[in-house]
Structure 1
């Protein structure tokens, strides 16, 4: 089972960005006011609870922590969407998707492809 941690500062984002040099990082951008995001977040949580990959999963609430959300868009050069999930390794985005394409299976497949 992988753990879920909420990022609330750009400093925390910088730390996980550096951490991606050691192991892959999953990062989820979540809108707490959007039903589509709520469904995608359930899929993300399901993946993390069933994963034996030893990953750490992170989540950013895009409305409450807009500065962190904006920094993700700047650092990844990927247009902001919400919900959105990223697989990051060696400070590079290996995969990302958004909205209803965020499923436990799509995350598993992305990790398999990245190996």
Structure 2
């Protein structure tokens, strides 16, 4: 099973996913398409997704170069510092997991989802 990336391209999606997170946790992956570390983190997520036990969790993909204002909106709305690459877990309308660079681990996300 490949990673079921959902494109994050509109400001209202952030509000919608924050609301949806009260019913089910949501992941946001912020990716810089020109950064090799970001590419490595994205590839790691894609390789591990099928075995992660997170198949039920929607995962949104934010292309930072095309949609930079959305990253600022995410930082403001959830009170987290912008990083790239960055994986955020949104649960009950709040960011409860935030990792960046090589610190991104799906096993840690799975623990935080419970």
TM-score norm. by structure 1 comes to 0.88
User: Would the aligned equivalents of 1:37 and 1:82 in 2 still touch at CA under 8 Å?
Assistant: yes
Stretches of structure 2 that go unaligned for 5 or more consecutive residues are none
Kindly report which structure 2 residues correspond to 1:1-115, keeping only aligned pairs within 5 A, or say none.
Answer: 3-53=4-54, 54-102=56-104, 106-115=105-114
Q: Secondary structure at the match of 1:108?
A: helix
Moved over 4 A (4+): none
1:40-69, Cα deviation, whole Å (9 max, x unpaired): 011222333334431111110111001111
Aligned-residue RMSD, C-alpha: 1.6
Q: Secondary structure at the match of 2:96?
A: strand
Structure 1 residue 93, shift from structure 2 partner: 1.0
1:16-45, Cα deviation, whole Å (9 max, x unpaired): 111101101111000000000000011222
TM-score norm. by structure 2 comes to 0.88
- Counterparts of 1:40 and 1:21, CA distance in 2: 27
- Counterparts of 1:12 and 1:109, CA distance in 2: 25
